[in-house]
Amino acid sequence: MTPEVLARSLTRWFQKSRRDLPWRAVDPSTGQRKPYHALVSEFMLQQTQVARVLEFFPVFLQRFPTVESLAQARDEHVLAAWAGLGYYRRARLLHAAARTIVGEFSGRIPDDPETLRQLPGVGAYTAGAMASIVFGARVPAVDGNVVRVLLRVHGRAGAADDPRSLRFVHARASELVAVARHPGVVNEGLMELGATVCTPANPRCGACPWAAGCIARRDERTRDIPRPKRSPRVTGLVLRCAVVTDARGRVLLERAPAGALWAGLWRLPTAEMTPRRLAAALGLAGVSLRRAGRARATLSHRQVELRLWRGHAANPTACRAEDRRWFDLAALRRAGVSSAHRQALAGLLDAEPKKRPRRAPGPRSRQ
């Protein structure tokens, strides 16, 4: 099928089937989407599904309604609003981008892809998406969905992360936006098609506007295109974590240092190695620690086991240290804490309904 035919049928399909997502709302005063809302949504959507972002987007915007409010915010508060969404570097990069936008562009979000690309956390995809979807620029926006959809419709074999596949897809996407009436609609339509119809497994070809001309479907190769990527190896990681409370029921947390997992978020005092005397190694001299179960977290590249050690601090000030703080339960709920640590703390937070109150029995092995 020619680019013209593809662009036209995709546009028609998208205008009929597009989901009503909050970041797609048009600002009546400008007739376009709010650039700041689009920016926040694009950062959240990096490697993250729509359903997940829907939970966080409105809350984040309520907390930081404008790019100025985000730029002025403290890093810790931005991280707290991101807690649970994952890939926390995005929160720092979005924060930095907001500061650049306010500091260098008077709070106006750039509208051309080259300038957008200079912002922290904005790569080729996000720059293309912002420029085309918000500002109408005639540039492609190639994400994982677009790669899959275009490889399939053209019947092009290859892995999704193969540079040759990506060059091919970029060329096809460029043809589409070149002939499109609304480049942003074509780009967003491609992603929508990949997310809702041309899915990795069990594509719903019956609902696809391109089904009649799809080469992969004709050749019954949708299952083989794209070839699966080489999966990164997942390594195990064991962390010893102290769950220490004081007489008022407050729990002691520390900020995960740069370079650590969940960098910048609050975590339980943690040791990676097995120290002879855990409490002393954690700077908790005088606290008697007892084994208290474990929590597991599966990350993209890491299988983490948190071995929990419970203790009480008779003298809270003795446990103070740089980047450590006592949290009461209310503060704990508001704090920037990863889902893994939130799960580990679930026992303390039982006022809060947890989806998975997994509580493994204590292992016999020494921790």
Partner DNA sequence: AACGCGTGGGG
Partner DNA sequence: TCCCCAAGCGT
Q: Using CB under 7 A as the criterion, which residues of the chain lie in contact with DNA when the complex forms? A: 21, 41-42, 45-52, 84-89, 93, 120-127, 129, 143-145, 148, 163, 188, 191-192, 194-195, 199-202, 228-229, 231-232, 259-263, 297-302, 338-340, 355
* DSSP secondary structure, 98-136, as one string: HHHHHHHHTTPPP-SHHHHHTSTT--HHHHHHIIIIIT-
Is 200 or 316 the residue whose CB approaches DNA more closely?
Answer: 200
Is 79 or 252 the residue whose CB approaches DNA more closely?
Answer: 79
Annotate 319-357 with three-state secondary structure. Answer: HCCCCEEEECHHHHHHCCECHHHHHHCCCCCCCCCCCCC
Give the whole-angstrom CA distance, residue 78 versus residue 91. 7
Asked if 254 is an active-site residue, the reply is no
Is 83 or 279 the residue whose CB approaches DNA more closely?
Answer: 83
Q: Which among 123, 121, 103, 104 is positioned nearest to 113, based on CA atoms?
A: 123
Whether 250 and 181 have beta carbons less than 8 Å apart is answered as no
Least separation in angstroms between CB 77 and DNA: 17
Least separation in angstroms between CB 61 and DNA: 15
Is 28 or 259 the residue whose CB approaches DNA more closely?
Answer: 259
Q: Which among 226, 205, 201, 200 is positioned nearest to 217, based on CA atoms?
A: 205
Least separation in angstroms between CB 298 and DNA: 5
Least separation in angstroms between CB 302 and DNA: 6
Partners of 39 in beta bridges: none
Is 279 or 295 the residue whose CB approaches DNA more closely?
Answer: 295
Q: Which of 42, 188, 192, 254 is catalytic?
A: 42
Structure tokens at 90: 């995005």
Task: Identify the residue whose tokens are 């980047």.
Answer: 323
Least separation in angstroms between CB 187 and DNA: 10
Task: Identify the residue whose tokens are 């995960």.
Answer: 256
Structure tokens at 98: 């907001």
**Relative orientation angle of helices 3-17 and 163-179, to the nearest 10 degrees:** 80
3-state secondary structure of 267: strand
Is 12 or 354 the residue whose CB approaches DNA more closely?
Answer: 354
Least separation in angstroms between CB 234 and DNA: 8
As a whole number of Å, the CA-based R_g of the chain is 24
Supply the residues annotated as catalytic.
42
